[in-house]
Structure 1
């Protein structure tokens, strides 16, 4: 029997890179709320006392960029001067230009707004068809953040991260092998109190105990105190957590970031469709695991390349599955936008704790199961 490990990390929303993603998508939502056809490509850079917003935007709307930035920073919890980075005193510096006419022309002809390879993945390890390592990592990091924001753990600060590894045997998860939690905290809380709280109130109450064994190694702030965090301790930038945004190390990465991009960018919108396709394959029982791969070229109105991988778990011929997917799901860039209803302010909710596995998002809905089954019956 073959044993191996799979890994995942989940930064909390106060992590500098995740805060940058969150600001980018909060701004995107505001542009789309006021003009659904806004074309937006934003990059955020965070450093002590400053937020830089740069990119290209074409829109009929006006957005109070500094106001959206400061409100997002405040929502996350950077609202005290002693944190070294707070919403009211952070300078907001903007450099926004109009989208280039060449890109605008390519999109107006219903072509892709970028050249990209995209990946979608699904498996049977969890109820939402996500890999177990990334699902648990997001669950833990979100639980810790909610403890802080609800007031149950007032000594916690916004920054933090969860790293988790799971031991597998012949494709089946056995138990959590390593669990590392880093969480920012006030200077007057002892490490012993912090570690006991996280262990008793979060880990024990959140992790399925069947996944914990005597061999599980748990480390909470293993390097010691973690008082200085957020952008004062480390620069934050959009697009630096693309593996934790997707599936952990279980599936390939398409290589592109999601946050700050409107749906004409196929590296975002087509990644969502690829996930929906893979999820349908598994939900229909055609395979236990499925990865969908697609490629798009700037200005081209159809998918350039399409393939799936089912890792030998398929119950139906792979070529038949591929044909059925292409018949049922629209793969053209504009068709994806319409099919998934992507011209809505839905993106801020995707920026933290993963872009996949959240049941209220359109690409997570199993709306084509019966149609797919009929084509392969």
Structure 2
């Protein structure tokens, strides 16, 4: 074992158990609604003009949605139509200006006020970042620091606390939209606490689900009718079957447990190969389902929403680190987004290859400069025996090009595919292809497994041989 690896393992040598918590929100949460509208606008711009420069923010309160920011595109964009369609897709189809009303879902796709305040990108920024430059010389759209994280505790190489909180929210939406739990409404939040064991090599293993919190918007218990709740004005088809009445709160909570919590745990696979249900015991888990009681008024009627306020939910649930930049509404020249995707791509690749069990990757940029200013790789002492974090860093430099133009090319980031990322996390998602586009391409790791079988000396030789190529894309 190398001296550096020995020192790093010594730091993490104390085996211990600890609790860690992560939260998530549903697509109908006001802040998430804002993220989705911003990315719907971005997609419309990129569909019309792949080189659009977009910085689109969204704010919402009561029955109003406002989009504002700086956009330069050759396309003709119908902002109001985009807003209304996104609100409808989420499921907000009714608003009554009365906090005592049980019929208001919190926003109406048909009657909401839509405000648009869009200007063009500053010519100062355009001149410094992309005007007159080749694709690979396009500079970063701003300065900043970005992080990516991966852990071998789940099949997706994501932290289980965050994976579970995110998937609980997604399941709430799925059973609402497919009609299984028709009385659910779009807004909602989830939170999960898990007991972990930290091993002497720095890796972590989830051993027990400690707490689950679900607060979800719902129709009026024992009164709401399905024919009125599912009227066909939202993203679901109009219900024309035999009339159904919403269950009691106790019945709602029991159905949420069985059809949301248990079903979600069964779908998440741990590194042991077992499902997350294997570390769940209802008798000992602290369950809080709608702990405040009724949650009927929600969406923007309950809380104001703004793009970029759920940056931890969008990433790793508090694990790793965060540079502070939000994602939604930003085109790929904005490294807050594209470089954060790159950091995840690199972290997942080194963990998937078996070079380490956990990885944190940081990049930094300056506005107008193409090459990243710095890269940092932390492996928490989990690197493969014989490897060092410094060597893994050099291997990453060989395999990846993190100049904004290269990222846009390699991850196909100029395609209109961002709206799918705006709810239920940008990471840990399964890549898929649709309409000729590959979604979540940064979740498809580069194969670095060849390095896992190489000796330290051979890795050093490879890094030295690639020095000239490295300097073309990385700062020395």
TM over 0.5: yes
The alignment yields a C-alpha RMSD, in angstroms, of: 1.4
Is structure 2 residue 344 aligned with structure 1 residue 275?
A: yes
Partner residue in 1 for 2:219: 186
Deviations 1:306-348 (A, max 9, x none): 1110001011111111111111100212111111110001100
Note the C-alpha offset of 1:371. 6.4
Matches within 5 A, 1:333-348: 333-348=404-419
What SS is found at the alignment partner of 1:83?
coil
What SS is found at the alignment partner of 2:369?
coil
Is structure 2 residue 416 aligned with structure 1 residue 351?
A: no
Partner residue in 2 for 1:150: 178
Instruction: Indicate if the aligned counterparts of 1:325 and 1:372 stay in contact, CA closer than 8 A.
Output: no
Deviations 1:241-260 (A, max 9, x none): 00010001111111110000
Matches within 5 A, 1:95-244: 95-108=117-130, 109=133, 110-170=138-198, 171-187=204-220, 188=223, 189=246, 190-207=248-265, 208-213=276-281, 214-244=283-313
Across the two proteins, how many residue pairs are aligned to each other?
A: 377
Distance, in Å, in 2 between the alignment partners of 1:27 and 1:363 is 22
Partner residue in 1 for 2:89: 75
Unaligned runs of 5+ in 1: none
Distance, in Å, in 2 between the alignment partners of 1:83 and 1:184 is 9
Is structure 2 residue 392 aligned with structure 1 residue 321?
A: yes
TM-score normalised by L of structure 1: 0.97
Is structure 2 residue 385 aligned with structure 1 residue 363?
A: no
Instruction: Indicate if the aligned counterparts of 2:354 and 2:449 stay in contact, CA closer than 8 A.
Output: no
Instruction: Indicate if the aligned counterparts of 1:106 and 1:112 stay in contact, CA closer than 8 A.
Output: no
Is structure 2 residue 28 aligned with structure 1 residue 14?
A: yes
What SS is found at the alignment partner of 1:136?
helix
Partner residue in 2 for 1:42: 56
Distance, in Å, in 2 between the alignment partners of 1:286 and 1:238 is 36
Instruction: Indicate if the aligned counterparts of 1:328 and 1:372 stay in contact, CA closer than 8 A.
Output: no
Distance, in Å, in 2 between the alignment partners of 1:18 and 1:11 is 7
Note the C-alpha offset of 1:209. 2.3
Deviations 1:81-132 (A, max 9, x none): 4324110001110100000011111221411001110001111011111111
What SS is found at the alignment partner of 2:145?
strand
Instruction: Indicate if the aligned counterparts of 1:112 and 1:264 stay in contact, CA closer than 8 A.
Output: yes
Distance, in Å, in 2 between the alignment partners of 1:227 and 1:242 is 26
What SS is found at the alignment partner of 2:108?
coil
What SS is found at the alignment partner of 1:244?
coil
Structure 1 runs (4+) greater than 6 angstroms displaced: none
Q: 1:252 and 1:368, CA in 2 relative to 1: closer, same or farther beyond 3 A?
A: same
Note the C-alpha offset of 1:372. 5.3
Note the C-alpha offset of 1:370. 5.0
Deviations 1:58-89 (A, max 9, x none): 11001110001000000000013432411000
Distance, in Å, in 2 between the alignment partners of 1:228 and 1:274 is 39
Distance, in Å, in 1 between the alignment partners of 2:143 and 2:108 is 37
Q: 1:84 and 1:285, CA in 2 relative to 1: closer, same or farther beyond 3 A?
A: closer
Deviations 1:254-305 (A, max 9, x none): 1110000000000100000110100111011110000001101111111011
Q: 1:362 and 1:317, CA in 2 relative to 1: closer, same or farther beyond 3 A?
A: same
What SS is found at the alignment partner of 2:93?
coil
